[in-house]
Amino acid sequence: MLVLGLALACLALVAAGCGGDDNNDDNSSSGAQGNSAGSSEPAGGGGGGGASKVKVTADPGGALKWEQTALTAKAGKVTVTMDNESSVPHAVEVEGNGVEEETKTVTGDSASLTVDLKAGKYEFYCPVDGHRQAGMEGTLTVQ
Ligand SMILES: [Cu+2]
């Protein structure tokens, strides 16, 4: 019977197709994973509670956006550095919980400020006219 013959041929093709599918998942990863930085290790020689540093980078192509929209810092003195390689002037302002501090506005340069921050949520944004509205804002979480 012709019809049956075709059906069998199809089945054979399907089976062959299935057999050729060779997915090798288990890629035994041999990465060095034991190197998790100790979370609360006292920084040697410090003056009580090391200051933390966070960095925010303006889009190098000149778009009105940060490359980071969420930053995390430790409570205490926090240095916020803003890198701006673009030709558009930017600054960064940190605001929240009674704090409102900003860097100077720079073009093709970086600027930083150090503020004493308690645990909580802060906003950071570019105070240059219209930039925050365009999307240059984010959240700084202090723990
Ligand atoms: Cu800006």
CA 55–ligand 1 middle distance (angstroms): 15
- Assess whether pLDDT exceeds 70 at residue 30: no
Residue pLDDT, tens place only, 61-90: 999 999 999 999 999 999 999 999 999 999
The two structure tokens encoding residue 6: 């075709």
pTM score above 0.95: no
Q: Bridge partners of 73?
A: 142
- Assess whether pLDDT exceeds 80 at residue 48: no
At position 54, the amino acid (one-letter code) is V
- DSSP 8-state assignment for residue 104: P
CA 63–ligand 1 middle distance (angstroms): 9
CA 126–ligand 1 middle distance (angstroms): 5
Task: From 43, 128, 49, select the one nearest 92 (Cα to Cα).
Answer: 128
List the alpha helices (DSSP H) in the chain: 2-19, 131-134
CA 84–ligand 1 middle distance (angstroms): 9
CA 135–ligand 1 middle distance (angstroms): 9
CA 133–ligand 1 middle distance (angstroms): 10
The two structure tokens encoding residue 57: 């980078």
- DSSP 8-state assignment for residue 38: P
What is the residue-wise DSSP string for 26-43?
A: ----------PPPTTPPP
